[in-house]
Amino acid sequence: MAKVEWKAGNMLYPLPAVLVTTVDQKGRDNILTVAWTGTVCTNPPMVSISVRPERYSYQMLKETGEFVVNLTTEALAFATDYCGVRSGKDVDKFLETGLTREKASHVRAPMIKESPVSIECKVASVQSLGSHDMFLAQVLAVHADETYLDENRRFDLHKARPLVYSHGEYYGTGKYLGKFGYSVKKRGKNAVHVRR
């Protein structure tokens, strides 16, 4: 079967749907749903988020240069969607969603208590790229909920049931298939084989 060619567009799906918390100089905070986010570098640890300049949180990001990326779960799907379609200039999203503010250790923006992982970030640079500006940020600290740690104190993604976004729809991540390098280890009976 042949592939169909479409016009150029963003087809890197699914994406993590995260809740980004921001704060302004007066201490007013907000929650922004972001799907345009990703890992940039390991050493130093860096991430990026891309935000439209029209968004309410945009000025907070520019003003303070700080934010927290809060990972989401299937249980947070409603709050994740709500924070993406309602503006913080009209509503207090913490109040409306029932999410809990939690003090961060390095930035003034709050963490979200219900998030399995909160990543404190300091903006290193902002690039205007068209419809969105990309905030490239250094990771200052990572906070993981002990509920999701395994017996070796590693984060267990399966327990967290992360939420992802694809073409305007939210999904759970499905079943565990293997860990990095499993394709070159001894193959078990459930291994996936690709014919070449």
**How many domains would you assign to the chain?**
1
What values do phi and psi take at 150, rounded to 5? -85, -175
pTM of the complete model: 0.89
Whether the per-residue pLDDT at 73 is higher than 70: the answer is: yes
Q: Judge if the upstream peptide bond of residue 110 is cis by omega within 30 degrees of 0.
A: no
pLDDT at 81: 96
193 in a structural domain: no
196 in a structural domain: no
57 in a structural domain: yes
For residues 68 and 109, the answer to whether their CB atoms sit within 8 Å is: yes
> Cβ atoms within 10 A of the Cβ of 167, count?
8
Residues spanned by the domain of 119: 15-184
Q: How do residues 14-67 score in pLDDT, each as one tens digit?
A: 899 999 999 999 999 999 999 999 999 999 999 999 999 999 999 999 999 999
**Six-digit token string for 139:** 């990771």
25 in a structural domain: yes
pLDDT at 78: 96
35 in a structural domain: yes
For residues 150 and 54, the answer to whether their CB atoms sit within 8 Å is: no
Residue with tokens 């939420």: 163
7 in a structural domain: no
> Domain with 167 in it: what CATH number?
2.30.110.10
For the chain, the residue count is 196
82 in a structural domain: yes
Mean pLDDT of the region 58-83:
96
> Cβ atoms within 10 A of the Cβ of 109, count?
26
89 in a structural domain: yes
Whether the per-residue pLDDT at 192 is higher than 60: the answer is: no
Whether the per-residue pLDDT at 196 is higher than 50: the answer is: no
Pairing of strands 169-172, 133-144: unpaired
Q: How do residues 114-165 score in pLDDT, each as one tens digit?
A: 999 999 999 999 999 999 999 999 999 999 999 999 899 998 878 889 999 9
- CA–CA distance, 116 with 86 (Å, rounded to integer): 23
